[in-house]
Amino acid sequence: MKNEEERCSVNFNLISDKTKKKLNQWLQRDLSLKGRVLLTKAEGLSRLTYAAIPLFVNKNLSNSIDKSLFNFIWKNKTHYVKKSVIMNTFERGGLNFLDFTTLNNTFKINWIKHFLKNPTSTWNFIPNYIFSKVGGLEFLLLCDYKIEKIPLILSKFHKQMLLAWSLIYKHNFSPHRCFIWNNQLIKFKNKSLFFKTWFNNNIILVSQLINDNGSLMNYSEFLNTFGIPVTPREFAIVMDAIPSGILILLKGAGKPDCLPDLDPKLTSVGKICFATTMRNNNRNIRSLFQKDVTSIPNVVPYWSNFVNNLNWGNIWNLPYKYLLTNKVREVSFKIIHRYYPAKHYLLRFKLDICVNCSFCGICPETMVHLFWQCPYAITFWKDLSRYISVNLIADFSLFWKNVLFGFHDNKSKKQKEIYLVNLLIILGKYHIHKAKFSNSKPSFIAFGKETEQYINSIHDSKNKKAAKTIQLCSIFNVFI
């Protein structure tokens, strides 16, 4: 099949449709956000991996797959948090969502890694021959190339591979490191240049062609300096292709003392991408791509307007310090990201809904009212504060910012007590959430029973988080 687009469709459409069907089956389950993110990897990306590693994947297909994966996370309904935020790590307020576009780019970088490891192998014989016409793939990766300007007929796969590399390897322009070859700024007939004779004689930089007066060498000066047989036409092509802007920058710069290293493995990006001993190498490569597509959650500046000096790293990490179910963690995630389904919030999507509080039935049910201002919530937090004052921290006071973000006083001498207090706050928010959807009222007595059941359930666990929780509960004799 000669048509590249049709070939891509034939290669992936069947797998993509099967993936969507499998994910839709999981929508019948009451899964947490994190659970659905995990399924996008286990049931989604894993099915596409085998085909994506050796093949070109066009942009439309990548976008379609990413859209279906992201729609699955939100049950094919409203997207409450941006994709660029969900792609963040847990430490940055995301859910470690992995999109197919980033994964495909990672595969293409891995292809480069395997090629550079053994360029003369049977599998690499043809691409090695093709790229040798522009100095080899190692040299091309260091050049400021534009794929359309490279004087080669490349396959879609190799173009995608070069594009993936250009997305993470940034060229900080310097006149001293301006290459003559494969440079998108130095063109002849709208194609970048490469002359093998010049390259083999180490004529690589534009600065090497500058004479003592700061101008381009003439033909005789060039022959006297380098002593290689070059035709006047070839010489004129190179000299006429160099833009005047580069020449102005090179005036008075002097000639280079030595040539730069021509090994992409020695660059900062290459040390990450082509490392052979580094653990989690694929994750490190993905982080290079995600760095430019992820964004800070918009709730960070919002909450910072009300509370100063918030340590967001600690706040996002707090629910993951404990051995909790994803449903418990999700309540805190929704509250901080400001899309908890309180009735007043749901009014945006359904106009005929009654917005009165599920507990008191009087005030509009906003998130703040439900978790803090409602008389039933006030009574619950007072009872919890009294329990903490008696058993953990004397004269304990609880504020709305603590319910939202927890306690993060690293200088306090009562770190063990704070650890348990934050756990109780997280479980307390989940208790209020459960009460809302079970048509009951928050009750500290019921909360105490639930917490005891939770402590008993993790008592025999070998997980370090569970062991720490059990140990501290035993020390302070709470919920044991």
User: What confidence tens digit (pLDDT) does each residue in 310-335 have?
Assistant: 999 999 999 999 999 999 999 999 99
CB-based contacts of 357, cutoff 8 Å, min separation 6: 343, 363, 364, 365, 369, 370, 374
Q: Kindly state whether residue 356 falls inside one of the protein's structural domains.
A: yes
User: Rounded CA gap, 295 and 92, in Å?
Assistant: 9
Phi then psi dihedrals of residue 179, to 5 deg: -75, 145
* Percentage, residues of the chain above pLDDT 70: 99
Q: Quote the CA–CA distance of 479 and 473 in Å, as a whole number.
A: 7
Q: Is residue 339 part of a domain?
A: yes
Residues 81 and 161 in one domain: no
In angstroms, rounded to a whole number, what is the distance separating the alpha carbons of residues 365 and 359?
9
Spatial separation of the C-alpha atoms in residues 280 and 206, rounded to whole Å: 39
Please give the pLDDT value at position 171. Answer: 81
Tokens for 45? Answer: 């990306």
Q: What are phi and psi of 210, to 5 degrees?
A: -95, 135
Q: Distance between CA atoms of 276 and 285, rounded to whole angstroms?
A: 13
Identity of residue 17: D
Distance, CA of 392 to CA of 412 (rounded, Å):
14
Domain membership of residue 80 as a residue range: 4-98
Residues 93, 337: Cα–Cα separation, whole Å = 9
Query: Which of 68, 98, 128 delimits the end of a domain?
Result: 98
pLDDT confidence band for 89 (50 / 70 / 90): very high
- Is 387 contained in some domain? yes
Instruction: Give 331-351 pLDDT, tens digit per residue.
Output: 999 999 999 999 999 999 888
Q: Which of 9-13, 76-80, 107-111, 265-269 has the lowest mean pLDDT?
A: 9-13
- State the average pLDDT for the chain: 93
Whether 250 and 214 have beta carbons less than 8 Å apart is answered as yes
For residue 56, which amino acid is it? F
**197 and 114 in a common domain:** yes
Query: Residues 178, 246: contact at Cβ < 8 Å?
Result: yes
Instruction: Let me know: does 353 contact 343? Beta carbons within 8 Å.
Output: yes
Is 278 part of any domain? no
From 266, 288, 309, the end of a domain falls on 266
Nearest to 366 by CA among 348, 352, 384, 382: 348
Whether 197 and 322 share a structural domain: no
| Nearest one of 335, 331, 358 to 441, comparing CA atoms | 358
For residue 38, CA distances in Å to 12, 73, 284 come to: 22, 10, 19
Q: What is the pLDDT of residues 15-33, one digit of tens each?
A: 999 999 999 999 999 999 9
Look at residue 1 and tell me whether its pLDDT is greater than 60: no
- Expressed in angstroms, the distance from the first to the final Cα of the chain is 69
Residues 396, 447, single domain; the answer is yes
Residue 179 near residue 202, CB atoms below 8 Å: no
135 Rama class: left (phi>0) / alpha (psi -120 to 50) / beta: left
Confidence of residue 2 (pLDDT cuts 50, 70, 90): low
Q: Are residues 212 and 93 in the same domain?
A: no
Q: Are residues 43 and 135 in the same domain?
A: no
- 259 assigned to some structural domain: yes
| 276 found inside a domain | no
* DSSP calls for 38-79: HHIIIIIIHHHHHHHTTS---HHHHHHHHHHHHHHHTTTS--
Q: 257-303: per-residue pLDDT in tens?
A: 778 888 999 999 999 999 887 677 899 999 999 998 999 999 999 99
Do 143 and 261 fall into the same domain? yes
Residues 15 and 156 in one domain: no
Question: Residue 305: its pLDDT value, please?
Answer: 94
Query: Over the Cα atoms of the chain, what is R_g?
Result: 30
327 and 189 within one domain: no
What pLDDT, on the 0 to 100 scale, is given for residue 247?
A: 87
Q: Per the structure block, which two tokens stand in for 90?
A: 């847990």
- Does 350 share its domain with 467? yes
Structural domain count, the chain: 3
- Mean pLDDT, to the nearest integer, of 440-465? 95
Q: Which of 284, 329, 314 is nearest to 92 (CA)?
A: 314
Residue 147, pLDDT score: 96
Does residue 116 share a domain with residue 196? yes
Mean pLDDT for 443-464 is: 95
The answer to whether the Cα torsion of 377, 429, 75, 69 is positive or negative is: positive
pLDDT score recorded for residue 252: 67
Q: Sign of dihedral through CA atoms 73, 77, 79, 83? A: positive
pTM here is: 0.90
pLDDT band at 173 (very low <50, low <70, confident <90, very high): confident
Q: Determine what percent of the chain is predicted with pLDDT higher than 90.
A: 84
- Does 318 reside within a domain? yes
End residue of a domain, out of 71, 98, 125: 98
What's the mean pLDDT in 454-461?
Answer: 94
Q: Is residue 230 part of a domain?
A: yes
Of 276, 253, 294, 228, residue with least CA distance to 81: 294
pLDDT at 23: 94
Residues 367-415: tens digit of each pLDDT: 999 999 999 999 999 999 999 999 999 989 999 999 999 999 878 889 9
**85 and 119 inside one domain:** no
